[in-house]
């Protein structure tokens, strides 16, 4: 197995356990930075597909002053978009149920924005994955919410969990992107950077 090697110290600016796990598939040595409190607010007229890159840059900017010359920071943000609407993390059971009913028997897209930053440069990209859910029954939705507690997940679901296994009939694009980090595109971006 070839793991990406670099002479820079890689820093992941994220508190997501999924992103930590995914980045570990590409590199064997990286540091997770102490999470900065970044208010994830974007201009109201920002197109939904542009929001993840905007937020990944906002997160990067919070760390930039602390970077050393041999460090490379990775920040990311993932959104679930249904039509033109961004579906955030559910606030409670009722919100999770409402989001999953909306996604049931329909298509949506998952967009992750990634920003690579060092003391001299910054580069960003976005990756989109199209996802289709079969019709989900009330019983399936309620069981998933009760057992998996998807309150920390955009769109109220994790593709790697039970609901993804039984409900997602197709995806077009990167599976890992739906988990929160587009590994194929990130690998090649790191090599170029």
Alpha helices (H) in the chain, listed in sequence order: 17-23, 51-64, 93-103, 138-148, 162-167, 175-179, 183-192
Question: Does the annotation mark 107 as catalytic?
Answer: no
CB atoms near residue 187 (< 10 Å): 14
CA separation for the pair 38, 33 (Å, rounded): 13
Tell me which of 7, 61, 77, 142 is the catalytic residue.
Answer: 77
Positions marked active-site: 77
């Amino acid at each position: 197995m070839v793991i990406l090697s670099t002479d820079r110290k890689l820093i992941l600016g994220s508190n997501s356990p999924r992103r930590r796990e995914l980045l570990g598939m590409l590199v064997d040595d990286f540091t997770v930075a102490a999470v900065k409190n970044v208010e994830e607010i974007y201009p109201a007229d920002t197109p939904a597909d542009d929001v993840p890159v905007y937020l990944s840059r906002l997160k990067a900017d919070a760390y930039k002053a602390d970077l050393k010359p041999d460090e490379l920071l990775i920040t990311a943000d993932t959104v679930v978009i249904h039509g033109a609407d961004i579906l955030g993390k559910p606030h409670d059971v009722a919100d999770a149920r409402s989001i999953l009913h909306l996604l049931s028997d329909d298509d949506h897209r998952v967009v992750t924005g990634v920003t690579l930053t060092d003391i001299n440069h910054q580069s960003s990209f976005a990756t989109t994955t199209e996802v289709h859910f079969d019709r989900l029954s009330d019983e399936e939705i309620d069981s998933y919410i009760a057992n998996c507690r998807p309150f920390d997940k955009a769109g109220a679901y994790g593709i790697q969990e039970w609901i993804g296994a039984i409900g997602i009939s197709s995806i077009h694009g990167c599976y890992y992107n739906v988990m929160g980090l587009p590994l194929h595109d990130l690998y090649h971006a790191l090599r170029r950077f």
